Structure 1
């Protein structure tokens, strides 16, 4: 596209956007207060420049006092969102425009004196800029009429005398007015973002909410990985063992185990999907199995051919809910890793609970006596470490004395 045509489009594009004129209207509305006050004093009959300055200065204390009301900031924020930005963002939570980009305008009541001060500056700016925009608009229109040969009886400031035959120059003030409309709207939008933008407290709250949502998504992803990964691993191991055994009785037991494991995985999947649908709700205290149901995990691992030697000591049924649920998932992932990477090998499980901490130790021999290429790099082991860290504990995984060991320590207080 030729450069002159591109430049022409750049100049014309703002003039065909509705938001350009809603911004200008929003700016002109600010002139209502000084105009109303000026009619009372000093009066606007044949006003001078000094009269306009007095009309602009007198309402400042009153406007600043209005900003002390917490709701004033909310009202101004909603107006700014609606009239200064394109799209339907005013009806979308969080102040998002049609393109999904944040408008940067807060619509919450003032929560501090800093918020009130910024609101006061905004109201004073809007009033003074609105009066200036109103005066310039009227003056430029009057100049255009004078240049076209039309007599103006009451000019907004001073006197306007037709300079003779100058009709060809009549469109010039109108072009200046259009440029002023575009520039004034953009200036007001920039000032609105600075003075009506979120406070430090609001930004911190938004950051905390976003962090909480990300943690919740990460937790749900771990739930799906652990539950479905365990079910699929058991199904694959059981199917392979049944095919290799060629025993109808063993095949029946394997199919029963696959059915039971798949049913439990579906229940977990439905529970996680319910959490995804119920946005903004906390996780129920009884959601998900706890360590007191570890027998189900151990039995499913044994049914796949693994020889599981388990010892659980201490009051695991009295563990705090979050510790019990997360320890269950850690044990599930440790058993899944053993079956996936080592096959049906002997697995030693030791769970010890006392008054201050919970210890979980899962040990299995390495396949062919060889350690993994990158120990501890799987997403499952990373999930175990993340779960332990969130509870203030510690998890380690690696080769110890020729065996693969997953060790977890979780504090109970």
Structure 2
């Protein structure tokens, strides 16, 4: 039964059709292959046939050198041969996004070596050769299968083709031979399809250079996923933490101080709106849709971030030195995300007390630090203190990876008996 199953599969005949279409597609090149014979009209007939076949093969090979031909063949092989072949690697641009390190450089098109460049023409020549051989053999067998039963009422049935004659006794013998011819034609289709399936990964599959480019592309996709995870962790995590505290503050002072309650609710609205912008951007990238506008939080947005913390009931003591406006681009966005993560951790895990934020811009570096008290809170109702908020544990490792990508230094740990300190130093190039 296993030997009969390939004869009953539609994919077998789809592969044979692919081969036969390749043979038919080569016919338009045949008249051009005859042109050189005009100059060799006096050559022997055998030489002329060989010369025409060689020129024909050369023309088919030249068609195979086109990149479009390779793409079409790969798409058809995937569809008709059911062979998993990746698309040829093409250059892609990876845009820089807010809060990240330098954008990864997308791999360029793989440059094929001399041997790799000729794989497609070799495939095309074998494709056409198998297509013609399979079409001629299976066509003769099917013709025989359809012709021999005509002699059912005769004493003898026969078939003549290309000077060859086959005589079969009439009656059931002609039907048996006809059935055998049809089965042999189907077996030819199986053989042609299996041959193409064996050749496709070796000649249409990725070359060594393309495999390296595909590996680099997979690495870029993983880096992009990690970057998006950082975006969601920094933006959404901070917003939810601040909103939880602000909601608690608004609930406690709603009757006693309606103005402060309204300010806290307004801060929740602003924080949620900013987080929704970040979320829309990240989801747009995940869906491979072009986001309308990428959020660009920079050091210029730091005062707004500190105001939201104050509305949440936190006491923030900023210390700014230098000119933060001179820090531009990726570095400024990364600095904002680092401070945002540090302040979020201070809200989640710190005790009540002032949060010291320091930003120092120097000609050779940018220094950031967040210092907060540790230990049990004093019960101001903000809900802060150790274990007050669940955490995924990815905050500090994510910060360390971000700083490493920017070739900076990071320190995080106890600072004195009752404080925790996050300190980051980044190399900087100031804009004029």
Q: 2:339 maps to what in 1? A: 331
Q: Given the alignment of the two structures, is residue 81 of structure 1 paired with residue 75 of structure 2, yes or no?
A: yes
Of the three residues 293, 299, 304, the one matched with 1:296 is: 304
Q: 2:14 maps to what in 1? A: 19
Alignment of 1:21-60 (within 5 A): 21-29=16-24, 32=27, 58-60=52-54
Q: Post-superposition shift, 1:242? A: 4.3
- 1:25-80 Cα shifts (integer Å, max 9, x gaps): 335436748987999999xxxxxxxx999957853454335534676342253145
Q: Post-superposition shift, 1:118? A: 1.1
Q: 1:409 maps to what in 2? A: 425
| Distance change >3 Å, CA 277–CA 110, structure 1 → 2 | closer
Q: Given the alignment of the two structures, is residue 273 of structure 1 paired with residue 266 of structure 2, yes or no?
A: no
Q: 1:103 maps to what in 2? A: 85
Distance of 2:115 and 2:291 partners within structure 1: 33
Q: 2:237 maps to what in 1? A: 229
Highest RCO, 1 vs 2 (Cα 8 Å, sep ≥ 6): 2
| Distance change >3 Å, CA 317–CA 358, structure 1 → 2 | same
Q: Post-superposition shift, 1:245? A: 5.6
Q: 2:104 maps to what in 1? A: none
| Distance change >3 Å, CA 18–CA 283, structure 1 → 2 | same
Distance of 1:397 and 1:182 partners within structure 2: 66
SS in 1 for 2:423: strand
- Supply the RMSD in Å over aligned alpha carbons: 4.1
Of the three residues 307, 312, 316, the one matched with 1:308 is: 316
Q: Given the alignment of the two structures, is residue 385 of structure 1 paired with residue 395 of structure 2, yes or no?
A: no
| Distance change >3 Å, CA 11–CA 317, structure 1 → 2 | same
Q: Given the alignment of the two structures, is residue 129 of structure 1 paired with residue 111 of structure 2, yes or no?
A: no
Q: Structure 1-normalised TM-score?
A: 0.75
Partners of 2:7 and 2:187 within 8 A in 1: no
Distance of 2:26 and 2:348 partners within structure 1: 74
Q: Given the alignment of the two structures, is residue 159 of structure 1 paired with residue 189 of structure 2, yes or no?
A: no
SS in 2 for 1:162: strand
Q: 1:176 maps to what in 2? A: 184
- 1:343-368 Cα shifts (integer Å, max 9, x gaps): 43332222222112212111222223
Q: Post-superposition shift, 1:300? A: 2.4
Q: Structure 2-normalised TM-score?
A: 0.72
SS in 2 for 1:387: helix
Distance of 1:8 and 1:170 partners within structure 2: 20
Q: Post-superposition shift, 1:124? A: 2.0
Partners of 1:28 and 1:133 within 8 A in 2: no
Ranges in structure 1 where 5+ consecutive residues have no aligned partner: 43-50, 90-96
Distance of 1:21 and 1:66 partners within structure 2: 19
Distance of 1:192 and 1:67 partners within structure 2: 16
Distance of 1:75 and 1:269 partners within structure 2: 45
Distance of 1:34 and 1:145 partners within structure 2: 32
Partners of 1:74 and 1:110 within 8 A in 2: no
| Distance change >3 Å, CA 52–CA 230, structure 1 → 2 | farther
SS in 1 for 2:424: strand
* Number of residue pairs the alignment of both structures matches: 381
Partners of 1:224 and 1:269 within 8 A in 2: no
Distance of 1:36 and 1:213 partners within structure 2: 48
Q: Given the alignment of the two structures, is residue 365 of structure 1 paired with residue 373 of structure 2, yes or no?
A: yes
| Distance change >3 Å, CA 233–CA 142, structure 1 → 2 | closer
Distance of 1:107 and 1:18 partners within structure 2: 30
Of the three residues 355, 358, 361, the one matched with 1:350 is: 358
| Distance change >3 Å, CA 222–CA 12, structure 1 → 2 | same
- 1:212-257 Cα shifts (integer Å, max 9, x gaps): 44433433332233222222212222232344567622x5314313
